[in-house]
Amino acid sequence: MDLEKIIRKAVDLGVSEVEVYLARISETSLTLSDVIETSKFIKLSSLGMRVVVNKSVAIVGTQDLSSESIEKSLNSAISIAKVSSPDPNWISMNKKVSQTHVDDLFDKDTAYATPEDLKQVATELLESVKEGYGGARPVRGAVSARSIEVTYMNCYGGPLTRSETISSLYIYARVDEGGKTGTYSEHDIQRSYKKLRAKEVGFEAGSRAREFIYAQELPSGTYELILFNRVVSSIVPVMIAPAISALNVQQGRSPLIGKLGEELVSEHVSIVDLGASPEVLGSKPFDDEGHPTRNTILFEKGVLKTYLYDTYTALKEGKESTGNASRTFSTAPVPQPHHLRLMPGEARLDELISETREGVLVM
């Protein structure tokens, strides 16, 4: 697809600025119960166009990539912009259209994985549940391999193209024994389907489901709390992501307003947004408005160091974007983290448990 042609057409029609965002996604997946039930393949292309006419901004997206549909969508975006109220805070689109070099985001075998390739992973996953405990059985699960290609261009530069792959699996195991039921789920996500830990995940789900048969209510009281990594990884983004968005800060919706440079959490806590780290899920060479990504320290020894910015929020404060613009094909970019990582401390899990007199281990 000739994105430059779309840019030229928009400029000829009188827009002040224009950008084009093209995403192509293909995915092969297997759905599981105690057996492999179904396989599915999807392929989807989506095109988003954002135009500015005298500080009035409009976005239109389409998944019909015919020439007629693209022209209609572009004209629609321009028409909407012309009748929309100007944004007094608008300065410009991203003028630093470039990328960071980031290795190991794309795996060719995963991009072209077949149902037969994933079947081997799924079979190992299902069989390993009973290896975890003979009475355990898989109830539902899935294995998938996805390829994503994004191309970005605006009136200041590009096109830039990035490619990445993501493969994942999960399994939900159940044990019925002595009139009681125990359940447990586990998952894994990697850049390559060949790196999925199917055996370990299935074994963990089966053995933990057995243990949860004997789960009991906890008496009311005050306990020390130890969280498994998988629990922390589900909590931290929910707690941190909205609060560190510069957009939410500027709109008065963040509890971290005016807190830069303050020690807000324990000095043992450091959190980094990994936007440009090899193989890390979420990392990419450029964000969704063509700005180069980077690794950004958010909390260092408990001190809040920065918020996350896209071009709009950064220019509003006279700053440079942190490379955190995130969008769908039909929505405006907003600042969001790529991959939040709570940096490890010095203690091992067994040490934490042995030093805890009365506590709860959340799995």
Question: pLDDT digit of tens for each residue in the chain (363 aa)?
Answer: 899 999 999 999 999 999 999 999 999 999 999 999 999 999 999 999 999 999 999 999 999 999 999 999 999 999 999 999 999 999 999 999 999 999 999 999 999 999 999 999 999 999 999 999 999 999 999 999 999 999 999 999 999 999 999 999 999 999 999 999 999 999 999 999 999 999 999 999 999 999 999 888 889 999 999 998 889 999 999 999 999 999 999 999 999 999 999 999 999 999 999 999 999 999 999 999 999 999 999 999 999 999 999 999 999 999 999 999 999 999 999 999 999 999 998 889 999 999 998 999 998
353 found inside a domain: no
- One domain for residues 82 and 130: yes
3-class SS string, 127-163: HHHHHHCCCEEEEEEEEEEEEEEEEEEECCEEEEEEE
Same domain assignment for residues 79 and 187 = yes
Residue 354, in any domain of the structure: no
pLDDT at 216: 86
| pLDDT at residue 230, as a whole number | 87
The answer on 155 and 43 residing in a single domain is: yes
At residue 215, the pLDDT reads 85
Q: Please check whether residue 350 lies inside any domain of the structure.
A: no
Same domain, 210 and 67: yes
Domain assignment present for 334: yes
164 with 261, same domain: the answer is no
Last residue of a domain, one of 160, 193, 214: 214
With residue 274 as reference, give the H or E element that holds it.
Answer: strand 271-274
| CATH code of the domain containing 123 | 3.30.2290.10
Residue-number span of the structural domain to which 118 is assigned: 3-214
75 in any annotated domain: yes
Domain boundary among 214, 235, 262: 214
Helix ranges (DSSP H) in 181-253:
198-211, 229-240, 246-250
Number of helices and strands in the chain (H, E): 9, 14
Burial of 249 (0-12, 13-18, 19+ CB in 10 A): buried
Q: CA nearest 202: which of 171, 169, 168?
A: 171
* pLDDT of 96: 98
Verify that 137 and 252 share a domain, yes or no: no
- Domain count within the chain: 2
| Statement to judge: residues 153 and 239 lie in one domain | no
The predicted pLDDT at position 65 comes to 98
290/150 Cα distance (integer angstroms): 10
Q: Are residues 235 and 159 located together in one domain of the fold?
A: no
CA 206 – CA 209 distance, rounded (Å): 5
pLDDT of residue 363: 84
Shared-domain flag, residues 181 and 261: no
Nearest-angstrom CA–CA distance, 249 and 192 = 37
Residues 199 and 53 in one domain: yes
Inside any domain, residue 349: no
In a domain, 286, yes or no: yes
Say if residue 207 is in the same domain as residue 230: no
Side-chain-facing half-sphere of 280: CA atoms under 13 Å: 20
- Please check whether residue 348 lies inside any domain of the structure: no
User: Is residue 210 domain-shared with residue 229, that is, in the same domain?
Assistant: no
